[in-house]
Amino acid sequence: MMSQIPQPERKPGISKKKIAAMVITAAAIALVFIIPATRKGIFKVIEMLGGADVEAVKEFIRSYGALAIAVSMGLMILQSIAAPIPAFLITFANAAVFGWLKGAAISWTGAMLGAAICFGLSRLFGRDVVVKITGKGVLQSLDKFFVSNGAKSIFIARLLPFVPFDPISYAAGLTGMGFVPFLVATGLGQLPATIIYSYAGSTLLSGNVKLFMYGLSAIFAAGALSLILKNIFDQRKAKKAENQEV
């Protein structure tokens, strides 16, 4: 039988710790957007990343000097939590600014922090809030994906470059999956793409970045598709064996 992602236990009421965490989180988000300079800066960053200009991202990170690593991680966390922006832009930029190996470590760490925050927010606020962030259709599609692929869902999803990063993290937080298994699956699943993107970002000219990304995405998609098909084949084989026993 296919291993399924466990469902969270439903406990009556809301604990005082959860209420306190929700209040602190809401206050922090509100504070960020109340301050004009901060709000303007965030919108500027989202606009810059949305333009898919690697050179602009590189110069933005470099402009912060000694704080460049922290700013880079902040960008990765931002795109992980809410911004519909491909992470490869920041990964390419990090490789160009810090070198491919150090850039890969920075990108991977930032993405892990972003995934952890998404998972925690989802578990804290529940499905209603997640639906507002990701959209009902996206979340329903991920529900079916999780059911179809069981415990391998997170790992497979991280291997697929065209699968949005943050909805996967939010959806995982709605299941009974433990935090550590989630991080392990996320870390292992995103590591190959992070390394390859970083190496490519340190060697390719900016004009070739998009072409390379499309080609590499096709390779990763083919690999992930083979895993999904194997999983389906194993399920049918197991079901056929059960029917024969009956």
Domain locations in the chain as residue ranges: 16-245
Q: Name the CA dihedral angle for 228, 230, 231, 237, rounded to a multiple of 10 degrees.
A: 150
pTM above 0.85, yes or no: no
Q: Which residue has the higher pLDDT, 151 or 3?
A: 151
Strands (E), the chain: none
Helix axes 165-173, 179-203, angle to 10 degrees: 170
Taking alpha carbons only, the member of 193, 189, 142, 194 closest to residue 170 is 142
pLDDT at 104: 92
Taking alpha carbons only, the member of 79, 95, 78 closest to residue 87 is 79
Instruction: Say which residue the tokens 């491909």 belong to.
Output: 86
Asked if 167 and 157 touch (Cβ cutoff 8 Å), the reply is no
Per-residue pLDDT at 22 exceeds 90: no
Per-residue pLDDT at 224 exceeds 70: no
* Average confidence score pLDDT of the chain: 76
pLDDT digits (tens, 9 = 90+) for 150-169: 667 888 888 776 667 788 88
Instruction: Say which residue the tokens 């499905």 belong to.
Output: 127
Distance (Å) of CA 141 to CA 13, 105, 235? 29, 31, 20
Kindly state the helix (H) or strand (E) to which residue 47 belongs, with its residue range: helix 36-50
pLDDT at 106: 93
Instruction: Say which residue the tokens 């997640």 belong to.
Output: 130
